[in-house]
Amino acid sequence: MSNVRPETMARITTPELARAFIGEQVAAVRAQVGDRKVLLALSGGVDSSVVAALLIKAIGKQLVCVHVNHGLMRKGESEQVIEVFGKTLDANLIYVDATDRFLDLLAGVTDPETKRKIIGGEFIKVFDEEAAKLSGISFLAQGTIYPDILESDGVKAHHNVGGLPEDMQMELVEPVKLLYKDEVRVVGEALGLPHGMVYRQPFPGPGLGVRCLGAITRDRLHALREADAILREEFDRNGLAGKVWQYFIAVPAMKSVGVKDGKRYEGWPAIIRAVNTTDAMTATIEEIPYALLHHITDRITHEVAGINRVLLDLTPKPVGTIEWE
């Protein structure tokens, strides 16, 4: 399969087209892999999840999935990976909880770029360590999709894994590399993955690490995760999940005074960011009904320890980027 999408290739928009694509890819993967083993870094994101489900259908236990939980996932995400792949699909899944390892390295680090480098570098180290424990792996599967190829001339190794040891000469398996994101989602649904996983919104590699602003502390990270879960739950419940491209909470390392049980106390603000975009190059602000904002504020300030204010970020891109860091 070349890295150029043929002009004759129909856009996959229906379950029938998706099933035909899955059938072709299952045959192609079996022909490429034979009886050998394939390794996949399974983040729980849309692309890697769809590739995992497709490869499980094609080669079953010959696929080894490694899910590294860096402690910066959103609430319930690692649990969902274990549930869907470990239990429902009975995948050959290695789960690594590296939370302490990552958070210890990040302690006291305030610079966003340094945080990103630590998280990315350590992720590669953890993945490499797991890969080194395995024997007889001949292939590396990646969730490369067509926009990645268009953006980077076919080099996406940095995006998923990137730091494989020189002596691990592995051939790539990239079954969805000619598909656009909307097609990957249709294929994911046809493979029977949960809707919430297939339509999961974009999530930066460093995860909540770039939304827990400044130096990450465990208590503030916990508050961020809980507040973010409330925002997502309320958007789901109120029909906004499908209308807003990306929505999340950021929590800065600053406190303000509040009142609780008649006493003054200090807490962090939770900042709501909800944007729409077609290409991620520019973004507009989504209108959220005031009644819903009041309800979300009420829930976050009453249910999340440590947060005593809720703010709304009204800045489009440009001027502000989508992420705060």
Supply the range of the domain harboring residue 91.
15-198
- For residues 149 and 190, membership in a common domain is answered with yes
For residue 104, what pLDDT is reported?
98
User: Has residue 180 been placed in a domain?
Assistant: yes
For residue 169, what pLDDT is reported?
66
Residue 183, pLDDT above cutoff 90: yes
- For residues 176 and 49, membership in a common domain is answered with yes
- For residues 173 and 303, membership in a common domain is answered with no
User: Has residue 204 been placed in a domain?
Assistant: no
Residue 156, pLDDT above cutoff 50: no
Mean pLDDT of 122-130: 93
- For residues 215 and 301, membership in a common domain is answered with yes
User: Has residue 85 been placed in a domain?
Assistant: yes
Greater pLDDT, 241 or 211: 211
Mean pLDDT of 76-98: 96
- For residues 74 and 104, membership in a common domain is answered with yes
- For residues 85 and 166, membership in a common domain is answered with yes
Name the domain boundary from 198, 227, 257. 198
User: Has residue 19 been placed in a domain?
Assistant: yes
- For residues 43 and 102, membership in a common domain is answered with yes
User: Has residue 225 been placed in a domain?
Assistant: yes
pLDDT band at 154 (very low <50, low <70, confident <90, very high): very low
- For residues 173 and 52, membership in a common domain is answered with yes
Nearest 5°: the CA angle 159, 242, 288 is: 110
Q: Which of 155-164, 249-258, 304-313 has the lowest mean pLDDT?
A: 155-164
Measured CA to CA, the distance from residue 316 to residue 285 in angstroms comes to: 6
- For residues 230 and 263, membership in a common domain is answered with yes
For residue 160, what pLDDT is reported?
42
- For residues 34 and 124, membership in a common domain is answered with yes
Residue 195, pLDDT above cutoff 80: yes
Q: Highest mean pLDDT range out of 130-139, 185-194, 238-247? A: 185-194
For residue 99, what pLDDT is reported?
97
Do 268 and 306 touch, CB atoms closer than 8 A? yes
CATH number of the domain at 189, please. Answer: 3.40.50.620
User: Has residue 34 been placed in a domain?
Assistant: yes
- For residues 26 and 165, membership in a common domain is answered with yes
User: Has residue 261 been placed in a domain?
Assistant: yes
Mean pLDDT over each residue of the chain, to the nearest integer: 92
Mean pLDDT of 8-27: 96
Name the domain boundary from 139, 172, 198. 198
The number of domains in the chain is 2
Mean pLDDT of 229-247: 93
- For residues 154 and 242, membership in a common domain is answered with no
Name the domain boundary from 133, 163, 198. 198
CATH number of the domain at 301, please. Answer: 3.30.300.10
Amino acid residing at 262? G
Mean pLDDT of 243-257: 95
User: Has residue 8 been placed in a domain?
Assistant: no
- Choose among 261, 246, 247: nearest CA to 301: 261
Mean pLDDT of 59-83: 96
For residue 254, what pLDDT is reported?
97
